[in-house]
């Protein structure tokens, strides 16, 4: 069949709206009609060409929600009509990692996912004729196993969370990455305790959900750090108690500013930008003896973090998180419930709703710092 899609033909170029071919689901796979998709900074990162796993041409997008339209042979946990959220971190419940219960980084399909193909090694997306100079292939690659910038996409059964049917697609798509990553980093990875002090670097689509998570678990002081003063109001609405603008206090004074606010250092910090200098600041602003800093931001290939080992010798911990440590098929339906029950808020963070034709505007708004989340509605 045909589907409309925003195709990334090459790095650094705007997406192109095309009608392309999509093959039906093979055994163990599911055809999903994507109803809405968020635009996450990671999509921009890969489109920029900085992602070592970035392949072109590809259909980007990994923050979607939709409806099952066809299931392949052997699919047992989903049926036509089910509402689903695609999972770039699947949950097979059979691999060593899933069985360990120590991590959400399911390994069942990670290798093929990183190569832009389905588990059988092929792509379901095609264009009529090869369109990339020098290429004889008309295949278009999948992205993070999701490719939600296509109206129809195919995913393995283990990469879909079944969710309740009364939840609005144009809101819950954000649970497919940003909401779960931010709240999960606090709850699953850091395990922030009530009364803790928390510093959040970067108050965008992820950082604001870290703030929301920190408030949810009863953190005491929640300090936000961002160079965009326009982020302060929304961050305060979501629970931030103190705002530090590096351009006001001095970019080399941020650690001191946080230590002053927290009697020597934050119990927890979160880097939600993807900037290795900030990662260092985030570690070093935490408290001697027990401070834990969580890296969420994705830094480009070739970038490295550094600190004086003494920072770790004296008890600070440096950790990272992917998808907020969430086990998608188990945890994502619960987070949708939290939203529907009013335990978490998502609506104010969705600042722009766009049509597929306007998807490049969504990237522009992100780069200009004017949006928190843009959602494309099909
Ligand atoms: P975003 O663009 O919405 O937000 C980034 C924020 O960082 C903006 O508010 C911006 O003003 C701020 N910022 C930029 N430079 C800064 C600086 N020098 N000091 C302070 N603040 C600064 O991006 P997002 O969608 O929230 O994503 C944030 C990062 O998290 C990206 O690197 C993304 O790839 C990554 N990410 C990781 C995971 C994961 O599972 N680990 C999941 C989703 C996103
Ligand atoms: N291919 C990238 C990896 C970037 C990355 O770390 N991705 C996160 C999710 S970001 C969602 O917005 C992730 O899940 N990582 C774990 C994994 O297995 O990819 C690169 O830089 O190499
Ligand atoms: Zn994302």
The ranges assigned to domains in the chain are 2-176+346-377, 180-322
User: For residue 366, what pLDDT band results from cuts at 50, 70 and 90?
Assistant: very high
Q: Calculate mean pLDDT across residues 337-341.
A: 98
Domains 2-176+346-377 and 180-322 share a fold: no
Q: Are strands 292-295 and 317-320 parallel, antiparallel or unpaired?
A: parallel
- Overall CATH class of domain 2-176+346-377: alpha beta
Whether ligand 2 lies within 6 angstroms of the CB of 177 is answered as: yes
Q: Is the pLDDT of residue 129 over 80?
A: no
The verdict on the CB of residue 226 being under 6 Å from ligand 1 is yes
Our answer to whether residue 237 is catalytic in this structure is no
This model of the complex carries an ipTM of 0.99
The tokens of 135 are what? 């290429």
Q: Is residue 297 within 8 Å of 274, Cβ to Cβ?
A: yes
- Whether ligand 2 lies within 6 angstroms of the CB of 89 is answered as yes
- Listing DSSP states for 314-364 in one string gives TT-EEEE-SGGG--HHHHHHHHHHHHHTTSS--GGGEEEEE-GGGHHHHHH
pLDDT value for 15: 98
Q: Which residues surround ligand 3, an ion (CB under 5 A)?
A: 40, 42, 177
pTM (2 decimals)? 0.98
CATH architecture of 180-322: 3-Layer(aba) Sandwich (3.40)
**98-106 contacts: CB < 8 A, separation 24 or more?**
98/327, 103/325, 104/188, 104/322, 104/323, 104/325, 104/326, 104/327, 104/328, 105/322, 106/158
Distance CA 230, CA 60 (A): 28
- pLDDT tens string 206-225: 999 999 999 999 999 999 99
The Å distance, Cα 374 to ligand 3 centre, comes to: 12
Going by alpha carbons, the residue nearest to atom 17 of ligand 2 is 322
Distance between Cα 180 and ligand 3 center (Å): 10
Question: Of all atoms in ligand 2, which is nearest to the CA of residue 105?
Answer: 18
> Using CA positions, which residue lies closest to atom 12 of ligand 1?
202
Q: Measure 261 CA to ligand 1 centroid, in angstroms.
A: 23
């Amino acid at each position: 069949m045909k589907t409309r899609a925003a195709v990334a033909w090459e790095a650094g170029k705007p997406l192109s709206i095309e009608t392309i071919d999509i093959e039906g689901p093979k055994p163990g796979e599911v055809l999903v009609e994507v109803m809405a998709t968020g635009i996450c900074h990671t999509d921009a990162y890969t489109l920029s060409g900085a992602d070592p796993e970035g392949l072109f041409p590809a259909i980007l997008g990994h923050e979607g929600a939709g409806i099952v339209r066809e299931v392949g042979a052997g699919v047992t946990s989903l049926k036509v009509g089910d509402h689903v959220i695609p999972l770039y971190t699947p949950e097979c419940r059979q691999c060593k990692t899933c069985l360990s219960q120590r991590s959400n980084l399911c390994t069942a399909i990670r290798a093929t996912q990183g190569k832009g193909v389905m588990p059988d090694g092929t792509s379901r997306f095609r264009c009529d004729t090869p369109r990339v100079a020098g290429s004889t292939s008309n295949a278009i690659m999948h992205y993070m196993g999701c490719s939600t910038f296509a109206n129809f996409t195919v995913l393995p059964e283990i990469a879909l969370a079944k969710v309740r049917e009364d939840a609005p697609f144009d809101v819950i798509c954000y649970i497919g990455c940003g909401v779960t990553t931010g709240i999960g980093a606090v709850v699953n990875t850091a395990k922030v305790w009530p009364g803790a002090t928390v510093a959040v670097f970067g108050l965008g689509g992820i950082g604001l959900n870290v703030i929301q998570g920190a408030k949810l678990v009863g953190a005491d002081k929640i300090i936000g750090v961002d160079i965009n003063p326009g982020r302060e109001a929304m961050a305060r609405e979501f629970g931030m108690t103190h705002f530090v603008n590096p351009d006001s206090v001095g970019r080399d004074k941020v650690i001191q500013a946080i230590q002053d606010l927290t009697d020597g250092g934050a119990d927890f910090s979160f880097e939600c930008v993807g900037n290795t200098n900030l990662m260092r600041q985030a570690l070093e602003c935490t408290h001697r003896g027990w401070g834990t800093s969580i890296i969420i931001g994705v830094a480009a290939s070739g970038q490295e973090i550094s600190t004086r080992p003494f920072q770790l010798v004296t008890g600070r911990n440096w950790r990272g998180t992917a998808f907020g440590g969430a086990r998608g098929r188990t945890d994502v339906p619960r987070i949708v419930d939290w939203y529907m029950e009013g335990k978490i808020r998502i609506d104010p963070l969705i600042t722009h709703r766009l049509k597929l034709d306007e998807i490049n505007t969504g990237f522009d708004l992100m780069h200009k710092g004017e949006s928190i989340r843009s959602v494309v509605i099909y």
